[in-house]
Structure 1
Amino acid sequence: MSRISVRGFAVASATAVTTVGAVVGVASGNTLPSNDNLEASAADTTLLADIPMGQQAQVQVSSLTQQADAQAAAADAAAKRSAEEAARTSAAKTAEAKKEAAEKKAERDREAKEARANRDSVRDASTFSAKSSYSVAEVQAIARQMIPADQFQCFSNIVDHESTWNYQAQNASSGAYGLVQALPGSKMSSAGADWQTNPATQIKWGLNYMNSRYDSPCGAWSFWQANSWY
């Protein structure tokens, strides 16, 4: 409804109401209002309803804008909370990973320390009295005293395949010699001049070789299983 039509409607309504009042007033002995009073009443009435459509639209747009701003602010706050939570979760995972890595490193260091202690506690080849000959059982007994307990089985597996614990075993084609089939056999002279006749000297050399090349007899055995040599 336009400004003019609202005003006309208000004037007409006010005139009708006033006219009715005038008739009632005449009937009751009151004086009839003048036309000026009717116009004034009608004019006052139009002020209550006379709100332009443009202003109404502005009010609606302002309300929608406020709602949109509120929704955007809420979305930003939710995104911020989500990002903060993700950052906390990531930091917690990183801390846990670092803790696990530190624990694993400590465990490896402890195991390495124990392995060194075991190696230090075993008997050296020089502590065994030399004999003219040795049985397989005697050679194995010497090996058990010279090799750390957790490495003995791996060492034994290699010797089983290489020489079947025969400290005088010799490969005719390659020249490999002894329990661990050193190639050439003379390499074992670094462990002792009696390398040809003393199994303790051969065991000493073989253990040093496995430790230096494969970190341990078990490392050497793993390689042997994959390649059938070490």
Structure 2
Amino acid sequence: MLVSRIARISPKKALASAAVAAATTGMVLTAAPAHAATTGSSSAQAVAQKMIPDKAQYAAFSNIVSHESGWNVTATNSSSGAYGLVQALPGSKMASSGADWKTNPATQIKWGLDYMNSRYGSPTAAWSFWQANGWY
């Protein structure tokens, strides 16, 4: 009877082993930027869901963002220069919601919500306008 044993290795030891193996082959391991985990589309969607608890309002906001940027925090329209999740034009408008507007989904979502609420009354009204016009 063949019995195999799987050893438990701590994450620290596994990383050290990987670093040694990489160095042996001439590779370099680097840490990812601290904000990398917060800029992905699923993470931005999770932030929006927390900020927009009403399901209908979140769905409308999500529809707009999906069409405008595909939930890409750094999306830039090559012809107009519109930027971010909600495609603000110019993108620097979002600085009114925070200095980190270029990379922080929460800042962009806050600005987008404020814009939709002030211009259309709500994200659902903004989505209705978007559906009728192809923009908002």
Query: Normalising by structure 2, what TM-score?
Result: 0.71
- Name the counterpart of 1:229: 135
Return the letter of the residue paired with 1:132: H
- Name the counterpart of 1:168: 74
Q: How many residues align?
A: 100
- Name the counterpart of 1:50: none
2-side partners of 1:182 and 1:135: how far apart? 19
Q: Which runs of 5+ in 2 are unaligned?
A: 1-33
1:186 correspondence with 2:92: yes
Structure having the higher Rg: 1
**Residue 143 of structure 1: which of 48, 58, 61 is its match?**
48
Return the letter of the residue paired with 1:213: R
2-side partners of 1:137 and 1:182: how far apart? 20
Return the letter of the residue paired with 2:107: T
- Compared CA separation, residues 148 and 215, structure 1 to 2 (3 A): farther
2-side partners of 1:162 and 1:229: how far apart? 8
2-side partners of 1:148 and 1:186: how far apart? 27
- Name the counterpart of 1:216: 122
- Name the counterpart of 2:18: none
- Name the counterpart of 2:112: 206
Identity among equivalent pairs (%): 69
1-side partners of 2:117 and 2:61: how far apart? 11
Give how far 1:148 is off: 3.2
1-side partners of 2:122 and 2:128: how far apart? 10
- Name the counterpart of 1:32: none
Give how far 1:187 is off: 0.5
Q: Deviations over 1:24-65 (max 9, x none)?
A: xxxxxxxxxxxxxxxxxxxxxxxxxxxxxxxxxxxxxxxxxx
Return the letter of the residue paired with 2:51: M
Q: Which runs of 5+ in 1 are unaligned?
A: 1-130
2-side partners of 1:198 and 1:137: how far apart? 13
| Structure 1 residue ranges, 4+ long, deviating more than 4 angstroms after superposition | none
Return the letter of the residue paired with 2:35: S
1:177 correspondence with 2:83: yes
RMSD of aligned alpha carbons: 0.9
Return the letter of the residue paired with 2:67: H
2-side partners of 1:135 and 1:181: how far apart? 16
More helix by share: 1
Q: Secondary structure at the match of 1:229?
A: coil
1:132 correspondence with 2:35: yes
